[in-house]
């Protein structure tokens, strides 16, 4: 294994020789290759779905169909046409000694991405890495093994045409990952996308730096001044459009002064989706006559990412209490305030610590494609290096180029 990773590290230099046009052409060719092989990919995905025995919401993450494959190909095409980030000058200046200093983007180097369930990432990650000139080791979840291998086989056919097949590797066995984690002298970064337990286990098992893509415990706070019908529409979108994703709503906070009117509008919409409610004691009475399954929530419920048609609900007395609750329980992913009070909006934006902070919009927009990045390696909940959707710029670092004419320091 070590020799294999050393070879990838060595060959990664070839990626620096690619011109922006070559990268664009490669990624467009990859999208076309996928379009031509939908049948192969879907047959592999059908095998994975047949073996999958977890809940239906998580099964949705694994599922590929023609619509999702078409969306993947469009995502790759958007990545292809993005501005090339490599050697981009961020700033330049001349110092007191006459040295010309430039800060420029460069690839991080060799990145390992570990992800669960979502097989479309096997192609999307390759496109992002090619665009940013990074070599990459991919480790998908065992539940998507057949689909991941089918996608990567198509990727390798393309890479061979450019002599780059030794810049990328896909692992499928857990034992391989255990060995990989010891190569802190070769691998520059690990980006894990998965459960909190998985990320914590990785952090304990390696010296390689991690950018965490932790759970998405997303909150929405409905303020006293909110447009209630708009708030209902936003909450149904955030909670019910696709429950298995990390940017879906998990905890709803409602200002106590509007609770009665608001729940009168919201409950009938939640009933259409049979959303299970975990209600704080102070919100329980508002659901007593509903047709929803309602449970009394304890503190642990407010720490959960449900990833299903379930939601925690609590009343708060004001914006300050909402902010305090979110900063205590949030996973630092995405939060929203629904309000028409400019002071509360400004306060919420200033004091919420999460990577993505929304005003009068659904948290479902926390996505590289929706942000205009084409796609993302993940959504970082870390505070160092990168936060939120990680596109091509977030998987770059930088260096300084300093040019002189014989200057010496005195």
pLDDT digits (tens, 9 = 90+) for 199-211: 888 889 999 999 9
Tell me what pLDDT residue 178 has.
87
Rounded Cα gap, residues 11 and 17, in angstroms: 11
State the Cα angle at 277 between 274 and 283, rounded to 5°.
135
Tell me what pLDDT residue 167 has.
96
Which DSSP letter does residue 156 get? H
Architecture per CATH, domain 2-211+390-403, reads as 3-Layer(aba) Sandwich (3.40)
Which DSSP letter does residue 290 get? S
Rounded Cα gap, residues 305 and 217, in angstroms: 5
Query: Please, which pLDDT band fits residue 215 given cuts at 50, 70 and 90?
Result: confident
Q: What single string gives the DSSP state of each residue in 142-185? A: GGGHHHHHHHHHHHHHHHHHTT-GGGEEEE--HHHHHHHTT-TT
Question: Where, residue-wise, is CATH 3.40.309.10 in the chain?
Answer: 218-365
The 3-state DSSP class for residue 114 equals strand
Query: Please, which pLDDT band fits residue 195 given cuts at 50, 70 and 90?
Result: confident
Question: 392 is written with which tokens?
Answer: 């091509």
Neighbours of 261 (CB within 10 A): 10
Rounded Cα gap, residues 386 and 77, in angstroms: 24
Rounded Cα gap, residues 287 and 314, in angstroms: 12
- Write the burial class of residue 221 (CB in 10 Å: 0-12 exposed, 13-18 middle, 19+ buried): buried
Nearest to 77 by CA among 125, 41, 127, 118: 127
Q: Does 194 have pLDDT greater than 90?
A: no
Name beta bridge partners: 94: 100
The separation between CA 300 and the C-alpha centre of its own chain, rounded to angstroms, equals: 24
Question: 136 is written with which tokens?
Answer: 């990459």
pTM of the model as a whole: 0.90
pLDDT (tens digit per residue) in 72-110: 999 999 999 999 999 999 999 999 999 999 999 999 999
Q: Does 157 have pLDDT greater than 80?
A: yes
pLDDT (tens digit per residue) in 223-277: 999 999 999 999 999 999 999 899 999 999 999 999 999 999 999 999 999 999 9
Angle between helices 20-36 and 66-80 (to 10 degrees): 170
CA distances from 157 to 79, 150, 162 (A): 20, 11, 9
The 3-state DSSP class for residue 306 equals coil
Share above pLDDT 70 across residues of the chain, in percent, rounded to a whole number = 100
Mean of the per-residue pLDDT values of the chain: 94
Name beta bridge partners: 194: none
Share above pLDDT 90 across residues of the chain, in percent, rounded to a whole number = 87
Give the pairing type, strands 100-107 and 396-403: antiparallel
Mean pLDDT along residues 140-168: 94
Residues 6+ apart with CB under 8 A from 75: 124, 127, 369, 374, 375
Question: Where, residue-wise, is CATH 3.40.605.10 in the chain?
Answer: 2-211+390-403
Nearest to 147 by CA among 271, 64, 90: 64
Domain 218-365: which CATH number of 3.30.70.2190, 2.60.40.10, 3.40.309.10, 3.40.50.11310: 3.40.309.10
Tell me what pLDDT residue 120 has.
92
pLDDT (tens digit per residue) in 353-393: 999 999 999 999 999 999 999 889 989 988 888 999 999 99
Rounded Cα gap, residues 215 and 263, in angstroms: 27
Alpha-carbon torsion 180, 137, 71, 379, what sign?
A: positive
Query: Please, which pLDDT band fits residue 337 given cuts at 50, 70 and 90?
Result: very high
Tell me what pLDDT residue 338 has.
98
**Where are the extended beta strands (E) located within 256-316?**
276-279, 294-296, 310-316
């Amino acid at each position: 294994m070590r020799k294999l990773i050393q070879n990838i590290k060595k060959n990664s230099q070839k990626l620096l020789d690619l011109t922006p046009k070559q990268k664009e052409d490669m990624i467009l060719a990859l999208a076309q290759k996928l379009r031509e092989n939908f049948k192969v990919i879907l047959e592999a995905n059908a095998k994975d779905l047949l073996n999958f025995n977890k809940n239906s919401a998580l099964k949705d993450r694994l599922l590929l169909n023609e619509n999702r494959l078409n969306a993947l190909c469009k995502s790759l095409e958007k990545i292809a046409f993005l501005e090339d980030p490599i050697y981009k000058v961020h700033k330049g200046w001349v110092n007191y000694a006459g040295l010309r200093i430039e800060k420029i983007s460069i690839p991080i180097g060799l990145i390992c991405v570990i992800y669960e369930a979502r097989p479309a990432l096997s192609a999307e990650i390759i496109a992002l890495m090619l665009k940013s000139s990074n070599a990459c080791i991919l480790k998908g979840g065992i539940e998507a093994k057949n689909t991941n291998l089918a996608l990567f086989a198509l990727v390798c056919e393309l890479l061979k045409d450019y002599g780059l097949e030794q810049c990328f590797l896909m692992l499928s066995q857990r034992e391989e990952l255990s060995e990989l984690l010891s190569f802190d002298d070769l691998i520059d970064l690990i980006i894990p996308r998965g459960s909190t337990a998985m990320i914590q286990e990785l952090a304990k098992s390696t010296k390689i730096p991690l950018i965490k893509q932790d759970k998405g415990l997303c909150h929405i706070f409905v303020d006293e001044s909110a447009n209630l019908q708009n708030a209902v529409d936003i909450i149904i979108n955030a909670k019910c459009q696709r429950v298995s994703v990390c940017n879906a709503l998990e905890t709803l906070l409602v200002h106590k002064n509007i609770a009665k009117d608001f729940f009168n509008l919201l409950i009938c919409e939640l009933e259409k989706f049979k959303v299970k409610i975990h209600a704080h004691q102070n919100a329980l009475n508002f659901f007593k006559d509903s047709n929803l399954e309602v449970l009394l929530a304890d503190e642990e419920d407010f720490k959960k990412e449900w990833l299903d048609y379930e939601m925690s609900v609590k009343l708060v007395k004001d914006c300050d209490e909402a902010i305090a609750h979110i900063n205590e329980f949030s996973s630092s992913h995405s939060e929203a305030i629904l309000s028409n009070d400019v002071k509360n909006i400004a306060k919420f934006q200033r004091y919420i610590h999460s990577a993505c902070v929304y005003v009068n919009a659904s948290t479902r927009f926390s996505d590289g494609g929706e942000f205009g990045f084409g796609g993302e390696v993940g959504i970082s909940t870390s505070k160092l290096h990168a936060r939120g959707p990680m596109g091509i710029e977030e998987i770059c670092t930088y260096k300084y180029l300093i040019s002189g004419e014989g200057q010496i320091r005195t």
